[in-house]
């Protein structure tokens, strides 16, 4: 997956409010490798859900900052 495609997918999955837990599907085509696992209103809930996963490094928490910038953790 190219870096541009990956960044576009992350932007498309970033919610206007709250926090999305997103995972990587390593077996899909080069596009659409990211998919939504769940949406949370609170960051702590998303973080706990990520930590509960078998391979937490395969998951991202996506959200928008106060200035509309995109963030992932």
Residue 31: the pLDDT is 72
Stated pTM of the model: 0.88
Residue 44: per-residue pLDDT: 98
5 has a pLDDT exceeding 90 = no
**Mean local confidence (pLDDT), 53-57:** 92
pLDDT per residue as tens digits for the range 9-45: 999 999 999 999 999 888 877 677 899 999 999 999 9
Tell me whether residue 62 is exposed, middle or buried, using C-beta atoms within 10 angstroms of its C-beta: 0 to 12, 13 to 18, 19 or more. buried
For 11, 16, 60, 68, the CA distances from 71, given in Å and listed in that order, are: 9, 12, 10, 9
- pLDDT beyond 90 at 59: yes
């Amino acid at each position: 997956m190219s870096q541009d495609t990956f960044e576009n997918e992350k932007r498309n999955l970033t919610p206007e409010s709250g926090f999305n837990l997103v995972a990587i599907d390593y077996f899909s085509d080069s596009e659409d490798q990211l998919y939504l696992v769940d949406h949370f209103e609170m960051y702590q809930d998303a973080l706990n859900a990520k930590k509960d996963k078998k391979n937490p490094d395969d998951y991202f928490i996506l959200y928008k900052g106060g200035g509309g910038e995109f963030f992932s953790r």
